[in-house]
Amino acid sequence: MPQKAWSDKRERQYKHIKEGLESRGRSEDTAEEIAARTVNKERARAGEAKTASRSSVDDISSGRRGGLRSHRGPGGRTKEQLYNEAKQRGVKGRSKMTKAQLERAVDR
């Protein structure tokens, strides 16, 4: 659901993303959640949010990621996401693993 702290630009962005997701068959609740998360991430990247996670600021933009992954099917988790999950699980040798090796280690 749109928040009052968002600027007019962010409100338009939210509405545009939500409508696009709904037109592609997502439920209204799912579309709202994805749109809000996307807008909040863009706000964090632009320095408009009070707090921001490292992945919100350092990761590639949502629009760019969608463009890169749009023709390859679901891209799954990034190598950084897999690495962080492996770190939480205490996987040994994770720093030298490839993305495929990290996927196998985390999915065990």
Segments making up each domain of the chain, as ranges? 1-73, 76-108
C-alpha dihedral, 38 to 50 to 58 to 100, nearest 10°: -60
Question: The tokens of 10 are what?
Answer: 């962010």
DSSP state at residue 61: P
In this prediction, residue 52 carries a pLDDT of 73
Cα separation, 10 vs 31, in Å, equals 15
Q: What is the pLDDT of residues 30-82, one digit of tens each?
A: 999 999 988 888 888 877 877 777 766 777 776 777 666 655 555 678 898 89
Helix orientation angle between 8-23 and 28-45, rounded to the nearest 10 degrees = 140
Closest C-alpha to 43, from 22, 64, 14? 14
Give the predicted TM-score (pTM) of the model: 0.51
